Amino acid sequence: MSRSSLLPEHPMFFSPALAATIGLEEAILLQQLGLLTQTSAPNSRAGFDWFTIQRTQLLEQCAFWTATDLHRISRNLAEKAILLIESPPLHTHHELIFAFNESSNNASSVPTTHVPPPKRALTLRDNWTPSDDIIQLLQLNHAIPSDFALAQIDEFILYWRERGEPSHAWNTKFRSHVIAQWRRQQTSSALPAAKPSSFDVHEPLPLDRDWRPSSDALEILARNDIDNEFIEQAIPEFILYWRERGSAPKELNSRFIQHIRLQWARYTSAITHSTEPTRIAKDWAPSRDVYDILKLSHIDREFADKLIPEFIVFWLDSNQLHTSWNSKFLQHVKFHWARQHQIPSSDKGASATRAQSLADDLSDTSWAQ
């Protein structure tokens, strides 16, 4: 009987029971590692048989995977205490140095009949941190900056501690969490006017009118330099939103953090780039950008600071509205700086150093036009 064109190669076998226990990809890779070690001489150390397999061998044997896939799956096996790995990440190194997590006295060449039981699933610790490999993978595969990934740790811990669910692979969950947050941020940046997406509701729970965010949530927001008064004012709106929906998500504190971060970003952006004319405040002061611009023009900061009281009094008296008092102040300072440095030639004598009288100076408001 001729072989079907759809089956040009010999099939790859794996144990269904093993796949159901540790995962399909992990079962396939474990089987292939067992086959490759049949022709490799182990190096016995510390009670384990260590093998060195070239990355090219694994890629030839498992052509449907990339080096990054092999690294991810092998690390999953290590997290489940099935493999011990000594080599650097496989997508950056040319070989895999590993041992099956069983005594070398009892080790078999193909570990398909006996696999050590995986580690007991654990809840997330308060001080949990992701592995360096995960941070590196997020950078290489998804172009996610390490600073962004590390900034998600607190929220990730809070979310899963609220749920109280155990897991074997917190690194994998963290990777998925960071990717989702990164995509959400990119979408929000591309569509700044879009409304925040609806929260996923897992278990409908009534939200009490007196609900308060947890101390952990408030601490995370404080570390983001978000004003506490702003947070307090946002709580009633948040409660009203979920009461109108008739239910609230289980991970309410995490949703509150997301809500506050989004609202704070919009608020600060609106304040910084406001286009609505306003009156000058009695305690108005120029921004740091103003001083930077003056410095580029070689204008002393001390000279500019002396002009602030006169500038404020004039515009308070005029009762006019402007969209940018910084721009007005820049014009004011540059005008007076230019006048002060218009020094006449020496042959006109000292009496010519002032082109106009003091009364003219005090009544001159051409800088305000």
> Do 277 and 321 meet the contact criterion of CB atoms below 8 Å apart?
yes
| pTM score, whole prediction | 0.32
Counting other chains too, the contacts that 56-59 makes at CB distance below 8 Å and 24 or more residues apart are 56/94, 58/32, 58/90, 58/96
Structure tokens at 349: 């004598």
Model pLDDT for residues 232-254, shown as the tens digit of each residue = 888 888 888 888 777 777 778 88
Q: What is the pLDDT of residue 189?
A: 66
Q: pLDDT digits over 223-234, tens only?
A: 888 888 888 888
What CA dihedral angle connects 219, 223, 225 and 230, to 10 degrees? Answer: -20
Distance CA 88, CA 84 (A): 12
d(CA 322, CA 46): 77
Write the single-letter amino acid at 55. R
Q: Provide mean pLDDT across the span 131-143.
A: 81
Checking if the pLDDT of 305 tops 90, the result is yes
Q: State yes or no: pLDDT of 115 exceeds 50.
A: no
316-368 pLDDT, tens digit per residue, is 988 888 877 888 888 888 888 888 776 343 444 433 334 454 455 545 565 55
